[in-house]
Every structure is written in C-alpha cells, then in structure tokens.
Chain A
Amino acid sequence: MITRQEMQKAADFIRNHVKADDFNFSIGGAEELFTRFAQNGITQHIAGDKINVNLNVSFENKTGEASSNNLKEDALKHLIKTAESMAKLNQPDPEFVASEPAHDLPDVDNFSRKTADLKVEKIVDDILKCVKNAEGKNAKLSGISEKRIQNSFLTTKNGFEGFDQSTSFAHSMTMKREGVETKVSRSVKDHSKFNLDELIGQLNSQFGSLKNPVQIETGKIPVILRPAAVLNWLFYLIWTYDRRTADEGHTPFTDQIGKQFFGKDFTFRSRLDDPDLEASKFDNGGIPAENIDWIENGVIKNMSADRYYARQNNLKALRPYNIIVEGGETSEAEMMRIVKRGVIVNNFWYIRPVDRKTGEWTGLTRDGVLYFEDGKIQKSLTNFRWNEILHKATKRILALGPVVQQEYYAKIPTLLIDDFNFIDVTTF
C-alpha cells in the first residue's frame, strides 16, 4: 500500500504546480480484505488496495475540486487542471473559508501491527470455527470479517500537514434456524484484543435464549436496550446533531444549547485518550481532534459545526470522531428487577426520521426480542416497530449498565428506558 514518502512526494508536486490562490490536498490509502460468508459458506472474497487523491483549489472565493485514484505525475497534472478549471468557471462562494494553517496534532496511536499482519488463512480458520459452531446447532451462519489498514495524509497551501495511520478488524455474524435469528458483531483496532471465543459465546447465549417467538400487544413498555441497539440509535442522533441546522430552526435542538435537553443520566463524549478507540488525528479540513463533551448529564454542551459556521459564530469546528456514552453499574439481571415487566432488545433496524423538527424517529427491533416479568425472562417475542422521540426517551432512563467496547470507535452501555413507544408488530 502507499507509503508516507509517496504521499509526501505527490504533495510536493502539487505544491510546485498549483497556480490557484489556495488549496487543500489529501490522499487516503487503504489495504482491505473482506471475507463474507452466508448459509455456512464463503460467498464473496475481496482483496485489494484503494487510493483516493483529492484536490480542492480556489481562486479568491471560487472553488473547484477534483479527485482520482492515481498518484502518477500525469494524473496529478490532470487533477490540478480539472480542479483549477472548475474553480475558474465557478461562481463565488459566499461561505468560502481559507485552508487551515499548521496545527499541533494530538499524540494518538491508531495503528496496530497485530491487525496489519493478520493473514487471510487465520481469518478463514476463524470463520470455519464459527461455521462449525453453527452447524453444531443445525443453524445457518452469515456474516463478514473485514480487515483494513488505512493511511491518510492532508496538506494545505497555508501550511497544514498531517499524517495518520490506522487499522481495524471487524467480525459480524448472524445465526439463524427456523424462526430464530440473532446477530453479534465486534470491531477493534488491535486484533489481539479481539476475543472470538467470547463473541461465539455471546452468539450462542443470545441464540439459546430465543425460542418460538410470540406476538404481544403493542404499547408503551420498559425496554432494556443492549449496546448494539443504543449505538444504532446514536448514529441517527449524530446525523441531526448539528449546530447550524439547530440554529436555523430545522431540528428539536433550536435554542437548546446549554440547556437540560436530554435526560440527566445521558452523557456522550468523544475522547482522544482511550487506548481502545480510534481517534483520527484531524478531519478532512485539517481541524485537529480534541476531547469533546457533546452532552453532559443531559445538558447540550457542544454540537457539530463546520469550519465556516464555526468561524462565523465564534464556535469551535467540531465533529464526533468516536462515541463514548457514559454507563453505570446496573447489571441486566438487576434491571429486570427494577421494573415489573419489559422487553430486551438486541438491536434496532431501519431507523428513519419521521419528523426532523420534533425529533421523532421510527425503526424496528432486530436480532431477537425477549419478554421479562418479575425479574425473569419469560419468552421470546416477534419484532416490533417503534415511533419514538428519542431525546425524550433519554429522560426516561431508569438504569445504565457498564460500558462495553462495541466497535473500534464506540463504547456503549446497556440502557433501561421506561415506556418505550412500540406501535406495531411484524410477523417474525
């Protein structure tokens, strides 16, 4: 895969040949291996290196951007020509911002040698082990193992230069037999911290708890959301958690900055110093990552903002680079005793906005739903549809479990939430 030296050489070429007033030049390289399996057999297997070369130039405040997957000099010349001619033909951008100057970058290590050295034979061995486990249960297994090594490089006319190298390994699997299907997934930056046996154990435990799902009536009921479900929801919160759209009146967060808008038990951060989590050192505009408190005890502390809006409003340009939700100490067994009855949800599916202004979302449950009463799991349930104003749901958090590493970029607890609004059921 492409080295830092090759990236530097291309950057020097760009610097020497760009005639525009300003530029932002980035290179992303990746070496990837995707081993996908379904119905207990490998159905797809992809290997290769990718590269993305991107040049954004401007003449005064007229901008143009070109990208390609080629670092040869001819290709770079073509890239410059394309971006510059686009900028010349363009109209002025009233929201133009000059490129970033040099910044000190945080000292973060996103690279793992163990992950980088992982061989296809080992990945296939592990998949075989997972498949054998499923076959032992007369079940079918589908999923994917993904290995990635990434290099990213960014330089600007005004002196920014940054390089980052990261690794990740992800493994997910869905086990299905007749009416029972459930999924586990995990990703890590360091493969030596990936515990396959533990993940198979979690899969077997989820699978074993699900039997002959039955329908119950819909309505508001306490719910134990396991970490995968909570994270799935957070992606959608983050999608709309933008300062400008809030200020312009499009989301429920309008005029709520600094206020107790979420439940007091809800705290969400991005952190540089968690050794398990990736924290890319800078974003595509050259803003260095820093520790960010997004929501603290329910109070909106910071929201995402781009460089233009931040400068315009005296804010910091921010984006979530990893996701940490503060947890508690309540175990799932204890949660089942806090409320008389409720459901346990492994994951959500197909979350979509119903109304961006009120913050109402819809979605379904997935990967297994359990009903508990009097502190004990009583039966498996078919899946529900829910329509819920999610920020209001955080005000009904009754208990939080310990945080677990769900992905290489996320640590998430289990949440017990009262009165979750299940409005429909499906047939399975």
Chain B
Amino acid sequence: MDFLSLAMNTAKSLGADYADIRIQRSSTEMIFLRNLSLKNTSLNEIYGYGIRVFKNGAWGFAHNNVFTEDAINKTVKKALVIAKESGRVKYGNGLTLAHERGYIDSYKTPFNLDPFDVPLSEKVEMMMGTNKTMLSFAEIKRAVFMLECRKDEKLFASTLGSRLDLQTLYIEPTITATAVTETDSQSRTFSQGGQARGWEWVQSLNLADKAVQISEEAIMKVHAGSLGAEERKTLLLDPNHMALTMHESVGHPTELDRVLGWEADFAGISFATPEKIGNFQYGSKIVNFVANNKLEGGLATAGYDDEGVPNQKWYIIKDGILQEYGNTRATAPIIGLEMSRGCNRATNYFDFPINRIPNLYLEPGKELLTPQELIADTDNGIYIEGRGSFSIDQHRVNFQFGGDMFWEIKNGKKVRPLKKILYKSNNPEFWNSVDAICDDRSFQTFGVTNCGKGQPGQRGRMTHGGSLARFRNIRVGGSQ
C-alpha cells in the first residue's frame, strides 16, 4: 500500500474525525556573493511528512522523515495522542472544519528553464559579473548578490479522499550596492522579490544594466539631502514599495486567524474585526484589493492550499469597503462561513499549516493614466521607490515606512534625489487618502518570501502588486 493510503487508513481506523498527510520535498539553492567573496553556495534538501489528525474538535500534528510503514503508523498515533491532549483545553466547544470535498488533481508552476538545471558555474559567473560592475564605481564599497531558488514537491491526501500532486518553484535574485562616504553609508537594491517563474525570467531582467543603475543611484543617494521636520505632503508610491505597505496594512489585518486572536501572543491581532465586513471604509472608492491565488507567477499559487482547498480569487476590499478575509477550514466557520478561501499554508513538511496572506494586489485604476502623467499632475510631493524601514503595530493600525529611493517632485517634475525619508500613517487614513492609481499598463507584481508568522515561526510567501498610486496629505519628513 502506498504511504498516503496507509496513513489515511490508519487514521480512520484509530478513530480520527479527519486527517491529512503531506509528503514534502523542499530543495533550496542559495548563492550569496559579497564583494566577490562567495559567502554561501549551498543546496539544501529536506524530505519528510507531516500528519494532521482532527479529533473531537482539536488538532494534533506529528512529523517524521522515516518512510516505513511502521514509522507512518507511529506518526499517525503520535498525532492522535496529542490531538486528544489538545481536546483537554478545547477552543470554545471545539473547532469545526468548513465543508470541503476530495480532489484528485495535480499542479505544476509553469516554466521553461528549471533553475536547478542551470549549472552553478553559469549562475556564479553572472553574479560575479554583476558584482564587478557595482564595485567598478569608486564609492560603492559593498556589492551584494543573493540568489535563492526553491522547489517544493508535495503529495497530499486527506480522509475526504483527496490525492494531490503539487509542484511549485520560485526564484529570487536580489542585488544591492552600498555607497560609503566619510560620514554616511546608503544602499540601493534591485529586487522584484521572488517570482514563481523559470530561469528565463532571470535572463529577462537585464541585471547587468540594473547593477549600473542601482550603483549610480546609491551614489546619488549617499550625497543627497533629506527633508526637515514632518509635514503633510503628497506621496507617490511605486508598486515595489506598495507591495510592502499592502502586505503589512491590508494583508496581515485581513488574515482571519489574526482577526480571531489566534496570533495574539506573537504576530498580533487586527483592527479589521468582523462587524466591519461590508461597511468599513478601508480605502477610498477607487481602492480595490483582490486576493488571487491563481495569479500567474504568484508565490501563493499552488493549485491547492495545504489542507486541500482549491486556489481561488475574491475581493478583500471592493470600492474601498472591507469585503472578506483570507481564511482556512478551521477559522472560516467561526464567523459563520461555510467554505474556506484556501489560505492554509505550511513552509516545510514539519510545519503545521497556518492562515496566510493570499496573493494580494491593488487593482489598477480604471481610467487611463501613466506614471509620467501622474508625476506631471503632482505639484509638490515625494516619490518613493522600493522597500526600506518598516514598522507597524500589532493591531495593524499605526505604521511608519521608509523606502529604498526617494525623489522630490515639484511642479510635475522629479527635481532631486533624497535620503532618510520616513512617513507615518495609520489605518484607515492611509488607503482613504488614495486619489489616483495608474492603469494596468504599469501594473507590476512583487513576491514576498520572508513573511514571518506563527509560533514556532514559519517563513511564508505570497505575491503583491499594483500600479503607481498617489496618496494625499501624509505625514512625511527626514529621520534624525
């Protein structure tokens, strides 16, 4: 008998109300290059399985890396024993699971060139070339290239009869140039985050050109001025920067487990409580946030989540109003929902799946508008590119963000670079201040691969996106 069937049969025979097994092989190649020194060139492969057992409204989860019938049976039993222990301190009258059916299906990230088939020598050579380009600028003292390629191969089975074969892949190249003077050190990064695409995507990025651009901008930045005390100003935020702001201020507060207080001890809770669904003005009327786990290239796109719920597309915020959350089979019923949106994901085989942010993006503006036109339409503002300092409270209300590159806009033109810029805002003021969003011609996506959440901590991934957007009357100034 195959291990999937064995585990499910054992779980049923021992009296589990529900059980699933996820056999997962995760391969990660990391190459970390700093000033032509290879700080890390490694391939990590971990392979094992995790078994969830649901009994009397409580969970137990056990994992193992030994693939024998005996080990499978023991692991099922261990999960059941601790599920029964969990049942001694029940959540309410016990958890219930949203309705779902079994699926027999497979999914594979579409790509042409498997990054694991590209010879290491070719990758290192490309990275060295980029590093040398950056270091050829006299004031660039640190050049970093970090490349991560990850592949997850999963076989999933549940007592609902599901049999899933899911293979996902992503690549994340990041290059950073740091310029140093007598008194300051400032860096500039090129990254589109991780993308679920093949090596052909990396080849299309023109990293050699990007290395020149970020080196020049890092030097510009280290010599740039800053702003004085905080003032209310207009902000233009590029999609790369907004990927982070939406992650923190829309993605996390609309995870149903946070809303319910399941993360209260660590990641925090959420101001976006259930009575706000359908009536809370989260953003201005042109603000629409779409959750889309079918997004091509999206890091949460996997066919199904890690409890066998199909990937879906829905609105989190529609015409500015909070519509729905991302949720899981155990959280959805608590607010009266019948079905899960399929946001339960785990990082490695030994991780218990938790409520994760889906692929989530700001819908492009419906009226034709290019970034050039939006800049031209702005009298006095700050244009922010890329990700920098970010901090948000544990209810996801008050936040402060920096960025990677800043430009002052006067009379419709970028007039000078700036550094050390911070803005402060809060929910719901921030997304309600949006008065213009560029159209879909400039829509871009950015993958987040290091979303820390859970106890024990897991590293989650998802994709965000948008087009250049304008925010009015935001508190912005220079740092100390």
Contact = CB atoms under 8 A, between A and B. Distances in A.
Interface stretch (B7-15, B202-210, B292-300, B418-426): B418-426
B433 to A, nearest CB: 17
B450 interface: no
B336 interface: no
A93 B479 contact: no
Contacts of A127: 89
A331 B426 CA distance: 37
Contacts of A249: 141, 180, 185
A176 B180 CA distance: 47
A46 B81 CA distance: 11
B395 A42 contact: no
A142 B264 contact: yes
B352 interface: yes
A356 B36 CA distance: 23
B61 A363 contact: no
Residue among A131, A250, A355, A358 with most chain B CB within 10 A? A355
B106 interface: no
Interface in A101-144: 120-121, 124, 127-128, 131, 140, 142-144
A120 B82 contact: yes
Contact of B420 (A68, A174, A355): A355
A366 B397 CA distance: 13
Contacts, number: 256
Nearest to A146: B456
Given A387-B480, A426-B393, A356 B185 contact: yes
B152 to A, nearest CB: 15
A66 to B, nearest CB: 5
Nearest to B36: A94
A183 B267 CA distance: 13
B390 A47 contact: no
Contacts of A44: 59, 61, 352, 354
B455 A90 contact: no
Contact of A349 (B62, B263, B394): B394
Interface in B173-224: 178, 180, 183-186
Contact of B394 (A42, A83, A366): A366
A242 interface: no
B400 interface: yes
B274 interface: no
Given A46-B63, A68-B46, A248-B142, A385 B398 contact: yes
A47 B426 CA distance: 39
A45 B82 contact: yes
Interface string A346-357: 000111111111
Number of chain A interface residues as a range: 35 or more
A387 B422 CA distance: 11
A86 interface: yes
B90 A41 contact: yes
B397 A427 contact: yes
Contacts of B400: 362, 385, 387, 424
A202 interface: no
B424 A385 contact: yes
B180 A90 contact: no
Interface in B225-259: none
A67 B42 contact: yes
Interface stretch (B97-105, B120-128, B378-386, B405-413): B120-128
A89 B121 contact: yes
Contacts of B186: 357
B350 interface: yes
Residue among B79, B87, B265 with most chain A CB within 10 A? B265
Contacts of A418: none
9 contacts: A44-B352, A49-B64, A50-B350, A66-B42, A86-B42, A89-B120, A120-B85, A423-B424, A428-B397
Given A146-B455, A428-B395, 8 more contacts: A46-B63, A93-B38, A250-B178, A351-B391, A357-B185, A426-B426, A427-B395, A427-B426
Interface of B: 36-48, 50, 58-65, 75, 78-79, 81-83, 85-92, 95, 119-121, 124-125, 128, 141-142, 178, 180, 183-186, 260-266, 268-269, 271, 330, 350, 352, 354, 389-395, 397-398, 400, 402, 420, 422, 424, 426, 455-456, 479-480
Q: Which 5 A-B pairs have the closest CB atoms?
A: A41-B91, A65-B42, A426-B398, A48-B63, A142-B264
